[in-house]
A = this chain, B = another copy of it.
Amino acid sequence: MTETASRPTLEAVAARAGVSRATVSRVVNGGEGVREPLVERVRRAVEELGYVPNQAARSLVTRRHDAVAVVIAEPETRVFADPFFALQLRGISKELTAHDSQLVLLLTEGPEDYARVGRYLAGGHVDGALVFSLHLDDPLPALIRGAGVPTVFGGRPGWADGTRGDTSTVYVDSDNRGGARDAVRHLVGLGRTRIAHITGPLDQTSAVDRLDGFRDVMVDADPRLIVEGDFTPAGGERAMRELLDRCPELDAVFAANDVSASGALRVLRERGRRVPEDVAVVGFDDMLPVAEQTEPPLTTVRQDIEEMGRLMARLLLRGLATAPSSVVLPTTLVHRSSA
């Protein structure tokens, strides 16, 4: 080792089948122009010898790899800590597997590794890329454009906000703004008047859209009632502490995702606030089991994260033939005890 067992060669297959190398090559690459009995003989020899064509060579001809790259614009530590990514990958994995396409997850330690990701994407190893969790001014989209591989984004990319008119970008997203409006209207409907918002990281469109939805309803929101979080439980705790210090009289919180809501709930309990009596709380995602296991269980805005992943993969595979367009999925409010 490290495992250097030799592979059967094209020559060995040709000898076994009693045909020329060129014939074997043509059969391996689709069989066009080769008579059926010869194709049969070559196929049998390939099987008997366990021959695997060198895909680097084959892909020069066929331009298909039966593999799709997934790139998440977060360090690998976050990819494995946040259940959101596991769910989206589950949807992608199911869809790719159904099409016998290999899911190739390209992990990085951070943006300084993106050039290497760009090289891999450009290197003829995959048929396309699924990219999510982009941040504002992310270098990934440019690198991916340079790599020239078909791409579908998860979440509306920041540069495609209408100001640059890039209608060719295909993405799958949820109705973040509409979902946020539903959450805040629900709190208003409960008679709450001092409603705070813990945002996500504001260099991501999903966080900006949810903040816009909050503002759609709370038109004259006191700016002290809006604190930036980062979609993590620790970020939710920090933001909740700051909100209570700024506005001890607040009576409701809309957190931009469930895991930051779980952090906020811990701080509220610590400070002796009853939920929902003193402070009503609504999250976003309906991330299970998190949303059901909080104390109390979380009223939240459901988005179908696994379905988003499945749709991304489906659009990409379809797009290898046609030009698909973006999809925005609806959200629904899920009622539990926290609001």
Minimum Cβ distance to chain B for residue A67 (Å): 6
A90 to B108, CA, bound (A): 10
| A145:B55 contact, CB within 8 angstroms | no
A124 within 8 A of B: yes
B residues within 8 A CB of A144? 3
**A-B residue pairs in contact (CB < 8 Å), sample of 8:** A52-B118, A52-B122, A60-B60, A65-B123, A76-B103, A80-B80, A102-B116, A104-B105
A293 within 8 A of B: no
Q: Binary interface profile of A, 88-105, with partner B (CB < 8 Å = 1, else 0)?
A: 011001100100101111
A119 within 8 A of B: yes
Interface residues on A, range: 35 or more
| A109:B124 contact, CB within 8 angstroms | no
Known: A97-B108, A116-B100. A50 touches B146 (CB 8 A): yes
Q: CB-nearest residue of chain B relative to A103? A: B107
**Residue positions of A touching B, CB distance < 8 A:** 1-7, 50, 52, 54-60, 65-67, 76-77, 80-81, 83, 85-86, 89-90, 93-94, 97, 100, 102-109, 113, 116-120, 122-125, 128, 144-152, 168-170, 315-316, 319-320, 323-324
B residues within 8 A CB of A6? 148
Minimum Cβ distance to chain B for residue A69 (Å): 8
| A3:B52 contact, CB within 8 angstroms | no
| B107:A324 contact, CB within 8 angstroms | no
